[in-house]
A and B are shown apart, each in its own frame.
Chain A
Amino acid sequence: MAYRAAVAGVGLTEATSPRKQTRSTIELCQQAVQATLAHSGASPDSIDAIVTGNIDGFEGTVLGAKHVTRLLGIGADLPVTIVNTGGTTGGNLMQVAARMVRSGTHRRVLVLGGPTFFGSTDLQSAINTNSPMIIEQPLGMGGYHMGAFAASAYQERYGLTADDLAAVAVADHAKASRNPFAHLRYEMTPEEVLAGRPLSSPLTQPMVCPISTSAVAMLVADPEDVADLATTPALIKAMGMSADPYLGGGKGDFSRMQNLANLARRVYALADIRDPLGEFDAVEIFAPYAHMQPMQLEALGFAPPGGGIDLIRSGATDAGGTLPTNMSGGPKCTNAGVAGELAPYAYAALQVMGDAPASIQIPGARRSLGHGTGGSFFQFENLAIFESLARSN
């Protein structure tokens, strides 16, 4: 009496800065939900629950979903589950929804990621409130300060240069320039990245994600129950989460992403992945800071320790390469909080559904990997593997 779960529809809004955004949080969420319904072909009354995320210290609301989800046009009294695990909230939303469908308690669950960073006047100040209270919070760490620890340690250990960091940012901008839903849709040169304002050594502003506003939604359904739907579902083949200790100092070694490496082994085993580099057609990883992408590629088994940057510089992670990575431009170019965290799953699912924007679609993609990470010092990691599912009916 257990069931399977698949992504049967995805909806994305365009992204822009909080200052230029003319839509409200509710309007962005409505737009993403309507886009999901339009993509999937699902009627609103076929949805029987919503899973969404709120990060109250960052948003101007407490459990904003309590009123926002009542205004989505899909029913004013759907059951709502509100998840908050910081930067992994987005990916966890889909995993919670998948379990609802896999257990049989629900048939179709709408997953909604809203614009978390909309409205906070100094985001780094808000992020500092998730820095371990009393012990580490007084030291003055925002998101990129925490990120810079790993960048510094990784640099020291493997010799990553400032030019390498710039190369990652340049590649992300080139990809984002092709994605109509990206926020920073302009290309950058290595010189421009290096000349950017220093934020926290060794990171400069162009090596760090922007603050975006957008919303992302998806429909999770039983793939046997899609007679009325229009899409080729993306089967959620395997998924998992993993957590580090709370204190930044509990991580032990900032130069390696051991928590993610542990999780990758577990999730690959579930999906019978034997050769990671050869078996994924598309990868979307949550790499808001430039140093994270090479480190994550290593933890995910795509490159040896210290070899992530060589993989990126080889062109393997570009369109047409053996491991097209972050064709969306990734969170380095669009990061709207929970929406930004759900985006890797949304794009990874779209790739195997064959429904990514034409300019970023990998032709014939059959299997993809989506990743999320977040929390203080990137305490939490999550992964999901999607497979194209031929329609049986």
Chain B
Amino acid sequence: MKPPIGRGAAQRAVAPVHVVGAASTRFLPEHDAMLDELVFEAVYKALRECGLRKQDLGLSVLASMDVLDGRSISSGLTNSAAGGYLGDSFRVEGDAGLAIVCAAQAIASGDVEVAVAVGVYNPERSGGAATRRAFVEQVSNLGFEPHFDRPIAMTANASYALQAGYGLVDRTVADYATLAADEISRGGGLERSLRRFAATQDDVLASVPIAWPLHELMLPAYSTGAVAIVLASPARAGRCLGRDARLTGLGHATGGYTWPGEWLTDPGATSRRAARMALAQAAVSPDQIELAEISAPTPALHRPYVDALGVGGETTINASGGLRSNFPGLANGALRLLEVVDLLSVRPRGTTAVSHSVDTETGIVSEDVTLLVAEAI
């Protein structure tokens, strides 16, 4: 008998895909580099790490956005730097997590043996942090519906603030501050953190108010740079050097627009759908997940996301300090997986981890979520 067709249908089996290379540029508040120089550096390092060459690539998938990159079809500039010259390549406008999913699908299809996914983020606007933040918010505003939402200045931060305010029913602003301070302090001593200090609840509450009830130190630690992930089929991975972890679940979900209101009443719903999809492919239950990198743009979203993934007591969450320590914009999905495979490399075979990422272009509205299930080999 055929399985049922439609959204209730059982998840099909998906062939596993190996992570054999992962590398990044340095993470800086602003890079003085052409976008393609950043992409080339990350991809070049990631290929070197696993002993592969550009000529081994069957597909390059890039994540970036024209309107941040200051040029239409900006992937024209960055495509060769991603290894796409005379090869299969395309660009998604979204988070690097989605680029990883697309690259992994090509390998799981049996079409490609080696693929690279790379995210790059260095908004083409100079000036201080405030200028750059205002620019990113301006771009975010253009991402909203043009006739109703743009005129009232909806932006990503406005949506996050609305959700954080709505969430104050069973939590307090102090709770948000405590969580932010914990994450900043946890990442404070780590190489990849942009906030190299310990913070207290008071520090967070004393930081610049962004939009009630959010303060600057509750928001992600914006950085710039590029992160590349090299993927290979199980057979090809066997002949690679360097790191090896296995992706067994590829989850992707997109939330509704402002109208249904789910982004306020159930902000974890999109992450929950991505997790259900990925965990079904991996045939893993949430209680088997030992490590998780979760991308909560505000402390108010941390608990809804954790609950959506079903991870709990025994899981190590955001050992990196999460987004409060480093958030390289559209490259985030690849950074979270890089953090996960770094952690898995010193864990016993079979250890299961998840890498969760979101795009922030329109904040929690129409939120795009990817969830990758990774396993130590």
Contact = CB atoms under 8 A, between A and B. Distances in A.
Direct contact of A and B (CB under 8 A): yes
A99 B362 contact: no
Contact of B109 (A48, A58, A99, A241): A99
Lowest 8 CB-CB distances: which A-B pairs, in order? A57-B72, A86-B73, A102-B109, A103-B108, A104-B12, A62-B142, A66-B366, A103-B105
A244 to B, nearest CB: 7
Interface in B103-153: 104-106, 108-111, 139, 142-146
Contacts of B65: 56, 62-63
B76 interface: yes
A62 B72 CA distance: 11
Contacts of A46: 5-7
Contact of A76 (B2, B110, B257, B281): B257
**Which secondary structure characterizes the binding site on chain A?**
loop
A66 B94 CA distance: 11
Interface of A: 1-3, 43, 45-46, 48-49, 54-58, 60-63, 66-67, 69-71, 75-86, 88, 92, 95-96, 99-100, 102-105, 107-108, 126-127, 129-130, 132-133, 225, 227-228, 240-246, 259, 262, 374-376, 379-380
A58 B86 contact: no
A3 B12 contact: yes
Contacts of B256: 70, 76-77
Interface residues of B, number: 69
B75 interface: yes
A243 B86 contact: yes
Contacts of A3: 12, 109
B157 to A, nearest CB: 16
B254 interface: yes
A246 B75 CA distance: 9
A243 B14 contact: no
A130 B76 contact: yes
Given A1-B13, A70-B256, A77-B270, A63 B362 contact: yes
A99 B85 contact: no
A246 B84 CA distance: 11
Contact of A78 (B5, B79, B254): B254
Contact of A379 (B6, B76, B106, B253): B76
B169 interface: no
B71 interface: yes
A58 B66 CA distance: 11
A246 B80 contact: yes
B241 to A, nearest CB: 26
B368 interface: yes
B56 interface: no
Contact of B93 (A71, A83, A95): A83
Contact of B108 (A105, A225, A379): A105
Given A49-B252, A104-B15, 15 more contacts: A2-B110, A55-B72, A57-B67, A62-B139, A78-B254, A81-B102, A84-B75, A99-B105, A103-B14, A103-B109, A103-B250, A105-B12, A105-B108, A132-B77, A243-B87
